[in-house]
Amino acid sequence: MILRSWAGATAAEDGDAYLEVLERTGVAECRALPGNRGVLVLRRVAAGRCEFRFLSLWDSWDAVRSFAGPTPERAVFYPEDDRFLVARELHCEHFEAAAWGFPGWES
């Protein structure tokens, strides 16, 4: 299993609106693709910003590429992101799962 991680931030007051954007775009797209094992969006408000961490789990590199395209290290953006994001990672990190203990998530 592969975990894909991306981070970005909005102004604190835009956090709720951007979460809705994420749910309609990246979260929905990931969940609809074969090989996606789930999505987790984390957020926190700090220093006047709402910081987001978008985590998605995938069965294989082919499944990751079905979402990210041929260069999986490149972050995926949507048109509405430009309106909200005040900071963003342009690249994603990927980790291969070595061990986990989530009930119902089996290799």
Q: Compute the C-alpha angle 18/89/67, nearest 5°.
A: 75
- Report the pLDDT value the prediction gives residue 37, as an integer from 0 to 100: 94
- Report the pLDDT value the prediction gives residue 89, as an integer from 0 to 100: 97
Instruction: Tell me if 57 is assigned to some domain.
Output: yes
Exposure pattern of 3-19 as b/e (b: 16+ CB <10 Å)? bbebbbbbeeebbeebb
Instruction: Tell me if 78 is assigned to some domain.
Output: yes
d(CA 100, CA 84): 34
Amino acid type, 33: L
- Report the pLDDT value the prediction gives residue 106, as an integer from 0 to 100: 62
Q: Is 9 helix (H, G, I), strand (E, B) or coil?
A: strand
Given a cut of 70, whether residue 105 has pLDDT beyond it is: no
pTM of the model: 0.91
How many independent structural domains does the chain possess?
Answer: 1
The domain of 11 spans: 2-96
